[in-house]
Structure 1
Amino acid sequence: MPGPTAASGTASTVPGSVRVSSFAVMSLLSSLFFIWGFITVINNTLLPHLRSVFDLSYTQTTLIESVWFAAYFIASIPSARLIERVGYKRAIVTGLAIMAVGSLLMVPAARLPSYGVTLFALFVIASGITLLQVSANPYVTVVGSPETASSRLNLVQAFNSLGTTLAPLFGAYLILGRSNSGTAQANTVLTQAERLADAQAVQLPYLIVAGVLVLLAVAIARFPLPALHAGTRRVSKEVRATLSLWRHRNLVLGIPAIFIYLIAEIGVANLFINFVALPEIGNLSHEQGAHYLFLMWGGMMVGRFAGSVLMRRVAAQHVLAMASIGAFMVMLVAALGTGQVALWALVSVGLFHSVMFPTIFTLGIRGLGPLTEEGAGLLIMAIAGGALVIAQGWLADTVGLQLSFLLTAACELYVLFYAVWGARCGSHAGRPD
């Protein structure tokens, strides 16, 4: 299986440090991926809740997630510079601390309640996750054998998906299940008193999240994470001047691939509950819809575990191509079908989306060598594509929620293009696949 050609590191050996097992390293990193996936997907249950509390349109609702993903664009470069200054381990601990602060800010946001403070708190949490993304994704990719990089990143991303799978149940029980808007049928109008009472429902979940983040930060601070191999570290300014990221087609086309894929993933996740609640689709309450969202994220988790195994035998770009074709087909059914057929089509897209981010990421940094860190930073910045979910919100308000998923179907076609042609390394960047 073709893999990144960056020099590999050894997870079990830390020069001048304590010897640690690869299993222990991957277990700790998996917990890190789990927690930020969990927190990110709490938003999927939070958004329909806030839509009712603040009486928002679809455009205003998706603006919340746009602010979240704008943090990736704003915080990625500062995050890369912080990693260069303090190292991966301290950067990870700092990211967890920033996330804990943002989670605590959700408490005053709920007490006021304030739409503006809520947006700011979510931006802070997303900035912390950005720092984790910029540090942990490339770390997992280059800390082991390059031949199994895609498999390895899909494995830890599977634990990220475990977090995203459990988060809707957590949110359904502690947010939607404890609010008037969450247990009512679609289009129910709440009184002002009910909205104020509902706003308080987010306090306990985010206090729990903040506590877990602090505990994880302490655990990582005390753990001897291995150093990366010298072949993937930054080089001197003189040597760097002779190298160019833009000569690597797989990176240049991988950046928009991540950007466009995130529009698809976040659009589906954020509007999922509102979609299945439609009378012509599932006619469900938001709380009931969250359980179907659990199945969608569960499919993503299963797909990543399966992809981790499959990519040890099949080239990563081939798996990515098959996944994009499947995603395109089910999104057409979701956008144009009705009832249970459309509902289950949208649920199934999680299975096809599962391998896309980690596979695009590993293909994008393949062959970068000492430019790996910089290339990874650009790919993480491209996660800001999720901010354009507001475009789907506008389409939902303009042409209807269901037809807005045609935008998602179009996004899958670019991923297919990247898998078939864009992911190939040019002759100047490495041997073509």
Structure 2
Amino acid sequence: MAHGGMEQKRLLLILDGAADRPCLELGNRTPLEAAQTPNTDRLARNGVVGRARTVPEEFTAASDVANLSLLGHNPIGVYTGRGPLEAAAMGVDLEPDDIAFRVNTVTLAEEKLKDYSAGHITTEESRRIIEDLQPVVKELGGALYPGVQYRHLMVRRDGAEWRSFPPHDNIGRSVEEMLPPSGPLREIFERSRDLLREHPVNEKRRAEGKNTVDALWPWGQGKAVRLRSIREEYGVRGALVSAVDLVRGIGVLAGYEILRVEGITGYYNTNYAGKGEAMIEAFASGVTVGVVHVEPPDEAGHEGKADEKVRALERIDEFILGPILEAFPDIKVLIAPDHPTYLETRCHGSEPVPFLFYDSRVPCQGPEKYAESTASGEVVEGWSLLPRLMEGVSK
């Protein structure tokens, strides 16, 4: 049932890693082209499909930079690293001299990175491992905090200048290529590896034929950052839902209300419908701008699973976008991936992404489908899209 009232809602729907290149498995189509997404395509036919650069040339393709862009912040002025964004999501306050690292639990094979997520280990299993490793990291000069699944946090007073490598973009590379022969990063890796060889969680996972947690992998370090809040900028309430600490952290720093939804995992089994329902409730409570971030298309890209990437896009359309549009037909919508995640390479890319902009009060003639091939016009900066979505809001 549609909700009454004069306020027009604003929705930013982030399809993490959805942009891609045509692949043979999908009949030389991209996942966006192959997916059956009637709600999205209805907006495309009455909206604008353009191209945006979410990763400035100065940066490598990464979710932190790209999501900062989509949430209206120019990374050039505010970005220090991924770690401090995740610290904000976890409620870890950083002192001015603190350096926050993202830490993955990784699987190794023949001295190479095999899996950035240790088989998408459960949060419960991962927490046991992190708690057992906290004394080791403390002894080596850091504090280790458990997060969700394979995503954790370490805080130190050094390391800002150390070179680190995101594991999801370096599968198959040797440890020796990426870690220094000595120093804290190497010590954390080796000490964690020694402790984990016969850890009870790994013994159980090994018996079940699952990937094990073979080491801790710190990366993405940086100092605390401050972002201008959505209320300061536009004078409205904003709400955000995501299973990913990085995106929630940006939301915390930018003053969004963080919606808690049971069963959201950041993986294929996430609670899509729960995200849609939570945003509908937030809009009904007086929230003006809602951000829904959905991670599974990115995970499918990293795993090279075209069918899962298509299925994720279809579920987002059916269980998140469709119900929101039905509940709030008077709405502005911005849909965009944060970056491409290519099925072929299983890595992020920095090419411009297709965005869809729709305004129920100002319909226009758009393409039949939302996809890379239907995007047109000059490439705009990613951080310019949110201000466009917020046009017409009066403080």
Please give the TM-score of this superposition, normalised by the length of structure 2: 0.27
Q: Which structure dedicates a bigger proportion of its chain to helix?
A: 1
Q: Which structure dedicates a bigger proportion of its chain to strand?
A: 2
Considering Cα pairs closer than 8 Å and 6+ residues apart, tell me whether 1 or 2 has the greater RCO.
2
